Structure 1
Amino acid sequence: MQIESKAVYRSEMAFTMLVDGHEFTVDADEKFGGKDLGPRPKNLLLSALAGCTGMDVVAILKKMQMPFDSFEIETLAELTEEHPKVFSKIKLIYRFTGKDLDKNKIEKAIKLSQEKYCGVTAMLEKAAEITYDIKLN
């Protein structure tokens, strides 16, 4: 299976990204010649990680019939000092609210995502240590 995306140069440091029929802008910080027209590409990796594991966890919890009221994932990352600057540590914080949250089911869903299903985790953990916490209510 081949996946395709396209980056089209706009101006300064900005690019229009075309992915799966969706369009968005990436740009550099102003101190690097950008105009802050969109997120930084490296930061999008963290969003991809949160989205990938989040979708896994929701799908698994639905199969387990484990309802929740809200669910969010916060990502925190540390960069190396030397170039190329890469993520050395990434921490995911999974936050759930709900009345009858089953911590064991939530832990199992997250573990399955992190160890078996999330391809973004599998790629990023080759370069960075990935850890997580779970916060309920």
Structure 2
Amino acid sequence: MKTTVNVKWTGNMAFETEVAGHKLIIDASPEAGGEGKGVTPKPLQLVALGGCTGMDVVSLLKKMRVEVEDFQMFIEGELTDEHPRHYRSIHLVYQFKGKDLPLEKLEKAVSMSEDKYCGVAALYKKAIPLTYEIRVV
């Protein structure tokens, strides 16, 4: 399977892309010479990871019949100081809210995503340390 996206320069430091009918603007901050019209590229790497693993976790918990009231992830990437700047490590916090949530099932869903299903995590793990924790509130 092949995926192709078109990322078009729209002037100065800004680019626009459309993925599956959804437009996305990418731009640098004013401090970096852009106009702040859109998101900067590196955080999109963290968003891709969150979306990939989050969809896995939601799907797996549904199959396990675990009802979650709220689920969110906090993803922190630590950038290198030297160029080319890239993430030297990424840490995910999976935060769940609900009544009587079975921790063992939450752990199983997260670990299955991290170790088996999430292609973004699999790729990132080849280059950088990827760690995670689970919180129930």
1:2-13 maps to which residues of 2 (within 5 A)? Answer: 2-13=2-13
What secondary structure sits across from 1:89 in the alignment?
Answer: strand
Shift, 1:54, TM fit:
0.2
Shift, 1:86, TM fit:
0.9
Structure 2 match to 1:51: 51
CA distance in 1, matches of 2:64, 2:41: 35
Shift, 1:29, TM fit:
1.3
CA distance in 2, matches of 1:122, 1:28: 28
RMSD (CA atoms): 0.8
Structure 2 match to 1:105: 105
In the alignment, structure 1 residue 27 sits paired with structure 2 residue 31:
no
What secondary structure sits across from 2:6 in the alignment?
Answer: strand
Give the letter for the 1:17 counterpart: T
Structure 2 match to 1:82: 82
Alignment check: 8 A CA contact 1:52 1:120 kept: yes
What secondary structure sits across from 2:53 in the alignment?
Answer: helix
Gaps of 5+ in 1: none
Shift, 1:2, TM fit:
0.6
Following TM superposition, the consecutive aligned residue runs of length 4 or more in structure 1 with deviations greater than 6 angstroms are none
Instruction: Give TM-score scaled by structure 1 length.
Output: 0.97
What secondary structure sits across from 1:4 in the alignment?
Answer: coil
Shift, 1:21, TM fit:
2.0
Give the letter for the 1:51 counterpart: G
Instruction: Give TM-score scaled by structure 2 length.
Output: 0.97
Structure 1 match to 2:136: 136
Shift, 1:112, TM fit:
0.2
Shift, 1:31, TM fit:
1.4
Gaps of 5+ in 2: none
Structure 2 match to 1:37: 37
